[in-house]
Structure 1
Amino acid sequence: MSLVGAVQTSVLLAVGEGAHWLAWFNPWYLSILPVPLFVLLFLWLTVRYIPNDRVGIVEKLWSSKGYVDEGRIIAMHGEAGYQARLLRGGIHWGYWRWQYAVHKVRLVTVSEGKIAYVYARDGQPLPSSQTLGRVVECNDYQDATAFLTGEIRGQRGRQRAILREGVYAINLAVFTVITESKVQTLDHLLDRNEMAAIHGWRDALADVNGFRPVVIGRGVQFVVEGEEGECQEVDSIGIVTVHDGPSLPPGEIIAPAVGTTATDSHYHNNYQDPEAFLAAGGRRGRQYVPLTDGTYFINRWFASVELIAKTVVPIGSVGVVVSYYGREGQDVTGAGFRHGERVGEGERGVRERPLGPGKYAFNTSAGSIVLVPTTNFVLHWITGKTETHRYDESLKSIDLVTKDAYEPLLPLSVVVHIDYQRAPGVIQRFGDVKKLITQTLDPMLSAFFRDIAHTKTMLELLHDRQSIQEEARLKLRDKFHEFDIECVDVLIGKPDPREGDDKIETLLEQLRLRQLSVEQIDTFAQQRVAAEKRRVLYEAEALADMQTEITNSRSRVQVAESQGDADLALARKKAEQTLVVADADLARSRREAEQTVVVAEAHSKRDQLAGQGRAQRVAQVGLAEASVLLKRIGSFGDPRLYALTQAAEHLSHSAQPLVPDRLFVTGGGAEPATGGNPAGGLLGTLVELLVAERSGFELSGNASDLKDLESYAEKLVSEIPAESKA
């Protein structure tokens, strides 16, 4: 056989069903080609090379079997059209260029920690109850034939199954893969509208961060409070909304829990296995079971996840559960309670048992938790004042009218306690604590204190505050108990005047002045006590400062006392000796004194007798001289003559001249005719005075004077003691 015949035979064998068209060509065409060029042409016509990072999508341009059925895209039985089988990296024979077009596309790559979504352009149509194509065994969409012709055939449209990180050889003629970075498809297969829809899906997924797994746990979350928001670190849970599957029955708003434990036959692994979820009876809509801490690879087309903070019941509070989900409950409050029903676990309504302090993965779409404080909390009926719990933000001071027509505003604070076991009853009856306060406690307390004010004057309202508080505490405690709360204490403040009213201030000013006077008295007394205490303090400080010296002094005192005791003992010995000596001396002195007395009495007797003798002698001499003198005077006949004689005698012996050089005359006496002294003058006066002083009588020169002189002498003689006369 010639070379040309051999090549022709091989070509016929290679091209199979398309070999019959070679008969159209004149064999001379092959005979004129050089052998090398013929081989190259043959290889170019029959051999296809696919790089290892790409796949080849085969498009059959024509076929004797015709074209694929209407409504299908992929040829499964040799028809013309896109083929299900891919060409992987390497050299492939038999794909004639005039019959097959091979589209080389890159392998689908999903980055680590990311998710890719799949859109199937072929498969069974979706029923009206589905929004996503079911999951089938097709090796993660790498086996298009299994997807389209398997026992359970795949459905066209968006798929429930997702692609995790990795590299996939996917037939992009059948499947469009949407990743975070791009949309991988055969661009010429999609029209403008279909391409816009796919890009719209991609943008929507990017908006909900759908290309990343759902991470539940502690993290930063934007929390909106009022009109503003801020980023806070919260501990979150995920509320799941399923967008595929049967709808909820009428009247239901929350889908029930299905296959929630690993032991369930249809465990859906926290919504990560859509088929298991639907097989277990899962329904579309908001799900009752939330996602807790962890990482979840969830198809966001199948289920969206909303992150919310975990419900925290703080210490000092309980959470009353109001459930929107569950079966119809049976009232546990009894026939006598007509304010609503309380139900048990798993039932719809106000749950009988509240949640204690803690952190709960509570689905707020399936119910609400009303926090009720169980510690004592204060409510202020004071205008402009509120506590952090803000239960009293709408309360104001109570306006009163007293008995004497004053109109004060009464500030009031009430300490309230709610028993945790009665908290569900409070919520069931009032809805929440704030409604209890504003709709019940506020009007009740206002009416109570207005009634009290009508019976009190303004001064009584001020002075009787303690008794009013006690009365209010007792009466309000009973009233509060009817509403399942406890009144711990009632605190009344100072009544305030209304705006523009100065009558109360005038009354208070008078009371202040009165009390100030009393306080000043007490202050002065306390200052006196303080001064005394300060003095004691100073003494104590001084005593402390002198403690060393005092200690030394005490030591010296003790030494001195010991020395004194010794000296005292010595002195006692000496005193005893002295007493003995003194007794002896006393006895001796007594004897000497007795002797002295005897001697003294003898001497005294002797001196007395001697004195009497001398006295008698002097008296006798004197009497004798007096008698002689009297007789001498009597011999002159006139005593004055005797006196003049004595004066002349003395003057004769005087050294003074008789006749002085100068004579001073002080005055004369009376005339002789009148009986005056003719010899008056200074000398006469002196003589008269001398005689009068010595004798006690005046000498006048008469005879009677001599008689008086004799009488005087006799008197002197009679006065001489008898002992002297003897």
Structure 2
Amino acid sequence: MENSLPLIFMAVAVIVGLLIIWYVITRFLVNIGAKEVGIKERRYFGRRMPQGRVVATDGEVGLQADILKPGLHFVLYPVERVVQKVPLVEIGADELGVVEAIDGEPMPMGSIFAPDRAQNAHNNFQDPIAFIKQGGVKGIQLRTLPPGKWAIHPYLFRVSIAQSTVVPPGKVGVITAADGSPLDAGRLHGKAIQNHKNFQDAEAFIYNGGQKGPQVEILTPGTYRIHTMSSSMEDGSTQAGLFDVRFFEATMITENQIGLVEALDGAPLDPRDYVAMPVTGHDNFQDSNTFITGGGQRGPQKDILLPGTYYINPLLFKVILESAKEVKPGEVAVIVSNTGKDPSEEIRQAMARKIRERLEQEEAQQMQLAAEKLDRVDGDKASLEDIKAELLSGDPADKRLDSGAHEAYVVPEGYRGIQESVVGPGRYYVNTLAVSPIVIPTTNQTVEWTSGDVSNTFDPFEVISKDGFTMQLEVRVVFRVKPEDAPFMVAKIGDVTRLIQNVMHPLIDSIFRNQASESSAMAYLQNRHEEQERAEARVRMHLLKYHVDVVNVLICHIHLPEELMKTQTEKILAEQKQNMFNAQREAEVKRIELEKTSSQADNQRSLMEATVGVDIAGKRSEQR
């Protein structure tokens, strides 16, 4: 037993010695695991850190900027010690790390996000000393961490996780930058910047002059690693990123539709223009930068979007969906162009002369035909010259209109105004911001003044005859506009509806009132055909001034006053009774004569016998 005590003491001494050695080794030698980093602190024998500094870069007392990466490290204990081992920062495949520096140079005035002055000499923030000594700036950094595992100093850098930006199919991503240069004067969107890789290189965006605010460029469907809002890895709090991405539906133009485009930004529109000058190369407004740099103007655009899907910046371009225009058979479209050169006075005068000569020729032909027809109707009441003078009479204030003043606004192709050429039947994709199509029927159109419920109907005319009776006339007018006359009719009155409401209705009402006042009610009824011919001639001549061809004018029905019709009926009945009485009297006289003749025929035999008897008796007397 006594012999074993020295062995026990020796064993205890060895164990104590090993523990002491183990303690010393663990203080001087520190093992950092494969998925962690070590943070050192200098406790003695060093200078004080400069004011405001968080970590020491030159051996000052305090937390050291230098970190211990995975492996075995010697620590000058107790002067230095490892205060913490932290896991490596892991960024997932669909994430990026947004880094905020707690220490460094002050943020430049006017900036929100810190530039990387070290130009990545810090190896993605894994070399804190290089970051500090190369002029790293305190604050949220423009440079981000890509997917992977990174040895990041937790006391110098805070890392937040931002999810990758995924723009789904059928959508566009609109970018708003929270930092950058001010927008150019008069602009609403930041200009396009080179080499920022779809906003994935925030540093290139800022260094190359990226501007604060909504951006001209957009994101098309895909996945992007963009400096956006992130969540802290420590407490889950969120912070805004350099870019904010909003999603909008892509512009879809379906079949039989078009997209009218209005630019909300660009060069100012010329006050004389209603539609902006077209710009080439913008790929259906999908290349906003080309549109802006090419001098695109804000306002309605001449180019349109045909059926399809377009990735357009909705904050820069407003797209208005509109149906394709169809001109049906029996119609033409008169085009009013809002673009083109302004016609000169010479062009207007030439068009006015052309129309005046054409009107005079047509007027002479129609007047001759109408005058001859009225001459046959009126007989010897008026001469041909008087009839022509009556047909040519009109409102003196309308003489300027008759001379082609309004038609002068019809212009050749390439000029602003009513186009001389019309568009025939078919389906067309028309930019109604640049041109206004007015569809004009070229087939026969009917206007009726009747009590029936049909289209283009007015109440029957209430007219007063020469003898003071009120008559109600139901009239039908059939007219048409020739295709070559359609632009001039539009220039003169506007469209068929205005023609009917503002011209035909008051004109024909006046013509029938004037004619009715020249004839008695019964004469008007009896001379219905002549009155119809006379009205048609007058209507034809007047509507010729509006480039309207009258097919016919029909008096469908004449309603006379009930008392006049009653009197007329009684008169006719009385005349018929008188005729009947006269016929009966004549029949009775003829019957008497017939009976007398019959009686004489019946007594003829007896008369002959008596005559013969008398003759016999006379002869007998002579014989005696």
TM-score bin, normalised by smaller chain: 0.5 to 0.7
What's the CA shift for 1:444? Answer: 2.9
Match of 1:348 in 2: 416
Q: Does 1:302 align with 2:316?
A: yes
1:474 CA drift (Å): 3.6
Shift of 1:28: 12
C-alpha distance 12-109 of structure 1, shift in aligned 2 (>3 A): closer
Question: 1:49-60, aligned counterparts within 5 Å?
Answer: 49-60=90-101
Q: Which of 399, 408, 415 is residue 478 of structure 2 equivalent to?
A: 415
Which amino acid counterpart does residue 559 of structure 2 have in structure 1? D
Amino acid at match of 1:306: I
Corresponding position: 1:107 with 2:164: yes
Tell me the distance in 2 between the aligned counterparts of 1:240 and 1:52: 40
Structure 2 CA distance for partners of 1:4 and 1:109, relative to 1, 3 Å = same
**1:515 and 1:104 mapped to 2: Cα distance?**
113
Considering fraction of residues, name the structure with more strand.
Answer: 2
> How far, CA to CA, are the matches of 1:276 and 1:138 in structure 2?
17
Q: Is the 8 A contact 2:285 2:291 kept in 1?
A: yes
Name the CA distance, whole Å, in 1 between partners of 2:205 and 2:237. 19
1:68 correspondence with 2:108: yes
Matches within 5 A, 1:90-169: 90-93=148-151, 95-136=152-193, 137-150=195-208, 153-169=209-225
Q: Paired residue for 2:84?
A: 41
Shift of 1:422: 0.8
Task: Output the CA distance in 1 between the equivalents of 2:322 and 2:538.
Answer: 45
Equivalences for 1:355-370 in 2 at 5 Å? 355-370=423-438
| 1:136-156 deviation per Cα after TM superposition (whole angstroms, max 9, x unaligned) | 231111111221123xx3211
Once residues 509 and 309 of structure 1 are traced to their aligned partners in structure 2, the CA distance between those partners, rounded to angstroms, is 61
**Does residue 373 in structure 1 map to residue 441 in structure 2?**
yes
Matched, 1:211 2:225: no
Q: Is the 8 A contact 1:419 1:485 kept in 2?
A: yes
Closer, same or farther: CA 99–24 of 1 in aligned 2, 3 Å: closer
Asked if structure 1 preserves the Cα contact closer than 8 Å seen for 2:462 and 2:470, the reply is yes
Distance in 2 (alpha carbons) for counterparts of 1:411 and 1:154:
76
- Equivalent residue for 2:58? 20
Structure 1 pair 186–399 and aligned structure 2 pair: CA distance change class (3 A): farther
Name the structure where helix makes up a greater proportion of residues. 1
Matched residues in 2 for 1:360 and 1:72: separation? Answer: 52
In structure 2, the CA distance between the partners of 1:362 and 1:490, relative to structure 1 (3 Å rule), is same
Residue 52 of structure 2 is matched in structure 1 by none
1:592-645 alpha-carbon deviations (Å, 9 max, x no partner) = xxxxxxxxxxxxxxxxxxxxxxxxxxxxxxxxxxxxxxxxxxxxxxxxxxxxxx
Counterpart in the other structure of 1:288? 302
Distance 1:511 1:368 in 2: 62
1:248 to 262, 269, 272: 269
Conserved? CA contact 1:113–1:212, under 8 Å: yes
Q: Assess if the C-alpha contact under 8 Å between 1:214 and 1:297 holds in 2.
A: yes
- Tell me how far 1:72 sits from its aligned partner: 4.1
Query: Which digits, 9 at most, give the CA deviation of each residue in 1:42-70, with x for residues without a partner?
Result: 454xx32222232110111102x443343
CA contact (8 A) 2:41 2:80 kept: no
Instruction: Say whether residues 1:86 and 2:144 are aligned partners.
Output: yes
d(CA) in 2 for partners of 1:445, 1:322: 29
SS, match of residue 452 in structure 1: helix
1:328 partner SS: coil
1:111-157 residue CA offsets vs partner (Å, 9 max, x unmatched):
2222222111122211122111122231111111221123xx32111
* 8 Å CA contact 2:261, 2:318 repeated in 1: yes
1:70-121 alpha-carbon deviations (Å, 9 max, x no partner):
334232312112222211222112x211111111122222222222221111
In 2 relative to 1, CA 24–298 (structure 1 residues): closer, same or farther, beyond 3 Å?
A: closer
Q: TM-score, normalised by structure 2?
A: 0.65
Q: What residue number does 1:236 align with?
A: 257
1:473 CA drift (Å): 3.0
TM-score by length of 1: 0.56
Counterpart residue number, 1:188: 239
Counterparts of 1:285 and 1:57 in 2: how far apart (Å)? Answer: 40
Work out whether residues 441 and 481 of structure 2, in 8 Å CA contact, stay in contact via their aligned partners in 1: yes
Q: Determine what percentage of the aligned residue pairs are the same residue.
A: 27
Go from structure 1 to structure 2 and tell me whether the alpha carbon gap of 1:278 and 1:11 turns closer, same or farther (over 3 Å shift): same
1:405 maps to what in 2?
Answer: 468
Query: Residue 465 of structure 1: CA displacement?
Result: 2.2
Aligned residue pairs, count: 454
Higher RCO, Cα 8 Å, sep 6+ = 2
Shift of 1:253: 2.5
CA contact 1:74–1:122 (8 Å) conserved in 2: no
**Cα deviation digits, residues 638-667 of structure 1 (max 9, x gap):** xxxxxxxxxxxxxxxxxxxxxxxxxxxxxx
Q: Give the structure 1 partner of residue 397 of structure 2.
A: none
- Cα RMSD after superposing both structures: 4.0
- What do the CA deviations read for 1:666-702 (whole angstroms, capped 9, x no partner)? xxxxxxxxxxxxxxxxxxxxxxxxxxxxxxxxxxxxx
Summarize the alignment of residues 507-522 of structure 1 with structure 2, pairs less than 5 Å apart: none
1:278 counterpart = 2:292 = yes
Q: CA deviation at 1:496?
A: 2.4
> Quick one: distance in 2 between partners of 1:426 and 1:33?
103
Instruction: Give 1:482 shift.
Output: 2.9
Determine if contact 2:262/2:301 at 8 Å carries over to the other structure: yes
Give me the whole-angstrom Cα distance separating, in 1, the residues matched to 2:541 and 2:569: 38
Question: Quick check: 1:402–1:456 contact (8 Å CA) kept in 2?
Answer: yes
Question: Within 5 Å, which residues of 2 pair with 1:645-684?
Answer: none
Please list every run of 5 or more consecutive structure 1 residues that lacks an aligned counterpart in the other structure: 177-184, 203-209, 219-234, 260-266, 518-726
Which amino acid is 1:503 matched to? E
Q: Secondary structure of the equivalent of 1:276?
A: helix
One-letter amino acid of the counterpart of residue 379, structure 1: V
Q: Offset at 1:284?
A: 0.8
- Structure 1 residues 87 and 427: alpha-carbon distance in aligned structure 2, compared to 1, 3 A threshold: same
CA distance in 2, matches of 1:423, 1:506: 49
Corresponding letter in the other structure for 2:351: T
Deviation at 1:303, TM superposition (A): 0.5
* 1:317/1:372 contact within 8 Å kept: yes
